[in-house]
Structure 1
């Protein structure tokens, strides 16, 4: 098919273009930078964000953050501050108005990285802070995204039927573990950015011999069934199917049309949206508005972030180094105030989705500060996309993003 055919989801287009590469591919490609740069001075958040005279924007139902690296950043000595007060990350987020966290789980990751035990600890802390939990099951031993959906080593060699049973049992066991410790899961993703399938090669959609939607959706249905079967009686559990096409309406339609045609039943459409990879805020607006009208399901921007600087906090080159990659760079420059303006715009987009279906967003790893690598022994390529400076002090965008009130945003 032609490279611009939405059935290919742009996977055959220029493989070296940043928007075509998975996060893990980009992580692996980053080289050593010029070393640690001095910390930037960040002023008073109240003075950094100008008041807007536009009508007040309602707060989205879901105002969340992926905090999966938190135990590692704490072990590295990171401490978080807001308004001069130091507290654990989940408490800082809650004080700013956040009401959800997202927790990543890998099946058998490197030691210290996002295993079930770590996620359970963070879920307990989140629940005590008054936050709900979105569980992000990757069904992989390490990073899973559109470019990598590696089957766990312990599951290799299983045929489709056996693998489906494994997925169902694994998902049910995870949901049960959270419920048993008193922090039941409020929403679960069956797979992470499953744009091209999951558990490759068995559940890979795009192959040399054609598209394999039945195989992929068999695995998705197994995960959904396991989650629902293990959910505690009387507890509300929402299910999400998450892809990375926030600014790509044709690609989004192609994916969800095919999944629904296979009889997959899920509650929430999840989209990753990084403006430097997935298009402009206008592209996001068009996509979310169309998906709401087309499917009538709540929409969550499940991953997003924006730079507050183009400087680098450690020796590993950052994923985003070129300000020309920001499609709205003039409106939202890579500064603390520009980052805050981006999150204000995101909230306006969500508020404008027809039918009130713009349910909310999760900032991706806003507390992942220098000191923790994307893999053991590596650096952090994400440290200019956080909601805290490199001293752990909150940036203006933290309060703009998470305010629970209807506010006059930027």
Structure 2
């Protein structure tokens, strides 16, 4: 199974889930550290969703019905499916494009406050760019692009510290902070490329330390994509851990479906035991036209991740409608405005 990041018309980001063969399993040749027991994690397993598009969709008249066909607050609908946490991405100096922009820190703070008021936990995810960064793209904010490494370190510390202080001023204590998005090849390239491991680690550690300075009790995640590809995961951690990299949780993206879920789960387990940090699946989704497949695969992920003591699973933009963003891996039917059967994957597991 491969997760591809492709550009849709107008630069809109799409995720297309390709149901190819999963990469072979294998053990990472690194020492094993203790992780928390599965039974301890199961009681607090996080079921979440990234709904960062919600404010822009609302501003353009979009709305959501519940499974009975009645228009209802999206937070209320999600909580009815057992969702307890919301993931919010944030960009440095974004455009006003409805799908590829917004998500400035000021907007993210407002949305985080809404989530807290709705009784939901919040994961704040830094892309360290002005728009999408992903496994294939790691562009720095335009304002940072011409900086030296030392200048970028200062910018990183200032940006993360200011962002955390904005959240604190709004009465929001994030439950998790994610420093970077799918950073297999590094961040803010070329300065923080994995080919410059000391600089990559320095930038990420600056973000880690700045988040902890304001919220010392908030766990910080490193986020990698494609756990089916051991080489990519291992290459990153050889560089990051080898240069003193700091993190509390390993966040992983996987959109695997059907028979590809099991080998990905095996790899996730190996990543967790090899690096001694609990795993959280921070992105999941599947074809909107195959809701029962997506439901069953989501159940398999939740059951499997619980089984080895992982922390949780987040569905990526389940509320998205194709007419807004060309996104084809959501969990809502645009015609009826109702959640599809995919959302049932959160129930009774």
Q: Please give the TM-score of this superposition, normalised by the length of structure 2.
A: 0.84
How many residues align? The count is: 314
In the other structure, the counterpart of 2:62 is 78
In the other structure, the counterpart of 2:337 is 392
1:217 to 188, 201, 206: 201
Determine if contact 2:3/2:255 at 8 Å carries over to the other structure. Answer: no
Aligned-residue offset at 1:226? 1.0
Q: Secondary structure at the match of 1:82?
A: coil
Determine if contact 1:249/1:290 at 8 Å carries over to the other structure. Answer: no
Alignment CA distance shift 1:67-1:237 (3 Å): same
Determine if contact 2:285/2:315 at 8 Å carries over to the other structure. Answer: yes
In the other structure, the counterpart of 1:359 is 311
Structure with higher strand content: 2
Matches within 5 A, 1:116-265: 116-205=105-194, 211-231=195-215, 236-265=217-246
In the other structure, the counterpart of 2:37 is none
Determine if contact 2:256/2:297 at 8 Å carries over to the other structure. Answer: no
Determine if contact 1:268/1:298 at 8 Å carries over to the other structure. Answer: yes
The reply on whether 1:66 has 2:10 as its aligned counterpart is no
Q: Secondary structure at the match of 1:275?
A: coil
For structure 1, which runs of at least 5 residues remain unmatched after alignment? 1-17, 32-57, 206-210, 310-333, 374-379
Q: Secondary structure at the match of 1:93?
A: helix
Aligned-residue offset at 1:30? 8.4
Q: Residues of 2 paired with 1:181 and 1:303: CA distance?
A: 27
The farther-off stretch of 88-97 and 341-350 is 88-97
Q: Residues of 2 paired with 1:304 and 1:400: CA distance?
A: 12
Root-mean-square deviation over aligned CA pairs = 2.3
In the other structure, the counterpart of 2:39 is none
Aligned-residue offset at 1:370? 3.1
Determine if contact 2:176/2:219 at 8 Å carries over to the other structure. Answer: yes
In the other structure, the counterpart of 2:265 is 285
Q: Please give the TM-score of this superposition, normalised by the length of structure 1.
A: 0.72
Greater Rg by CA: 1
For structure 2, which runs of at least 5 residues remain unmatched after alignment? 13-41
In the other structure, the counterpart of 2:320 is 368
1:47-96 superposed Cα distances (whole Å, 9 cap, x missing partner): xxxxxxxxxxx676111100110011112222222243432222221222
Alignment CA distance shift 1:105-1:396 (3 Å): same
Aligned-residue offset at 1:195? 0.7
Alignment CA distance shift 1:20-1:120 (3 Å): closer
Q: Residues of 2 paired with 1:294 and 1:123: CA distance?
A: 33
